Structure 1
Amino acid sequence: MNKDSKTLLHSETIQLAKLQKIVEQTINDEKLIINNLLHPPEDVLTKGQKISDKVATFGGSWAFIISFFVILAVWILFNTLTPLKDNFDPYPFILMNLILSCIAALQAPIIMMSQNRVEEKDRMRSENDYLINLKSELAIRALHEKMDLLLEEQIKVLFESQAKQLDILKSIERKITPKV
């Protein structure tokens, strides 16, 4: 094996070692990100949180609005159409207003609890999106490093082959030109 082939094999070995180092570094950088994406923290909901989710889901639906409207209409009709001795909440409907106020006073904080938890889930999703973007950035950076390394090696090989070609041309020129 001549000197040039040994040099070429040695330079290829060095280049492969550099590429392997870049790949290993990329894999190590991505381990934490992949672990977070594959194993997100489990949502452990308490009984109260589950109830607040159900109340918020039902309280913000058309079923709630329609059923509430029907109950209020039945309440008003019953208390206006029945004889005075049988209706339990006469015309200004004070009891109905009290019940509506209590429902609104209880429903609002329950819905807010559910919204706070949804906001926390959204924050976690945005963190996962950030981690995915970071992973993509690391992959792109590793590709750039690999490309730079390959280009650097190609330029080096081209420069060396050009230098050899120049030497060959000079030797040919010396053989062709007459000696004076």
Structure 2
Amino acid sequence: MSNFSDFVHHHFDKAANELGDVEKRVLAKARERKVISTDVNAAFSADASFGERIADSIARIGGSWSFIIAFFAFLVAWTVINTVILMSGAFDPYPFVFLNLILSMLAAIQAPIIMMSQNRQAERDRFEAAKDYEVNLKAELEVLSLHQKIDMRVLTELTALREDVARLTAALSAKG
């Protein structure tokens, strides 16, 4: 346990009991030599409720060019049908009061759904930033660990070289 405490203090400059959940989780992954999952889509979507998934789908569709083009085509068709084709018996004659009602209802429903999706996107961005932090922290720990291993190797080699030099010096002084 002392070795672990020394490791924590050396790498985080604080005691093991002062670490946060993220640091503890990253340390556990580093000690187990496991990879931190970076698949944000799967991890974030796993916690989404049914309503959140629907809101994301509606926002994805409502914010696409295909929706804009299709809706523009619908508006053109509505206008042409009610002005040119059904001149005398139009079900929604100009100024298209029924169409305005439909558009108002669509906007009233679509606006909160888009806001929900934007909130989810903000949550996703925070989740992704937290995952990036975990990955970066683990990478930093691995780099520090490699530095420590290299330093230990260099110290071992220096000690061996000093012993060799001392032995050679003793051998030379014994001959001379």
TM-score, scaled relative to structure 1:
0.68
Distance in 1 of aligned mates of 2:108 and 2:172: 95
Report 1 or 2 for greater relative contact order, CA contacts < 8 Å, sequence distance ≥ 6: 1
Once the two structures are superposed, what CA deviation does each residue of 1:75-120 show, in whole Å capped at 9, x if it has no partner? 2122223244x22333222332232122123212201211221332
Secondary structure, aligned partner of 2:37: helix
| RMSD, matched Cα | 3.0
Match of 1:88 in 2: 91
For the 8 Å contact 2:83–2:93, the answer to whether it is kept is yes
Match of 1:74 in 2: 77
Secondary structure, aligned partner of 2:46: coil
Distance in 1 of aligned mates of 2:94 and 2:44: 54
Q: Which has the larger radius of gyration?
A: 1
Distance 1:139 1:156, change over 3 A: same
Match of 1:151 in 2: 154
Match of 2:28 in 1: 31
For the 8 Å contact 2:55–2:114, the answer to whether it is kept is yes
Corresponding position: 1:162 with 2:160: no
Distance in 2 of aligned mates of 1:57 and 1:124: 19
Match of 1:171 in 2: 174
Aligned residue among 79, 99, 121 for 2:102: 99
Distance 1:145 1:111, change over 3 A: same
Any gaps of 5 or more consecutive residues in structure 2? Answer: 9-24
Task: Name the stretch that deviates more: 36-45 or 47-56.
Answer: 36-45
Aligned residue among 139, 143, 147 for 1:140: 143
Once the two structures are superposed, what CA deviation does each residue of 1:133-174 show, in whole Å capped at 9, x if it has no partner? 21111111111111111111211221122122222222222x
Task: Name the stretch that deviates more: 119-128 or 52-61.
Answer: 119-128
Secondary structure, aligned partner of 1:37: coil
Any gaps of 5 or more consecutive residues in structure 1? Answer: 1-20, 174-180
Alignment length (residue pairs): 149
Match of 2:64 in 1: 61
Distance 1:53 1:29, change over 3 A: closer
For the 8 Å contact 2:82–2:90, the answer to whether it is kept is yes
Secondary structure, aligned partner of 1:45: coil
C-alpha displacement of 1:129:
2.1
Distance in 1 of aligned mates of 2:158 and 2:48: 60
Distance in 2 of aligned mates of 1:83 and 1:102: 26
Once the two structures are superposed, what CA deviation does each residue of 1:1-58 show, in whole Å capped at 9, x if it has no partner? xxxxxxxxxxxxxxxxxxxx69xx69x9642464863895762333322221221122
Letter of the 1:46 partner, please give it.
S
Letter of the 1:149 partner, please give it.
M
Distance in 2 of aligned mates of 1:62 and 1:115: 18
Moved runs in structure 1, 4+ residues, more than 6 A?
none
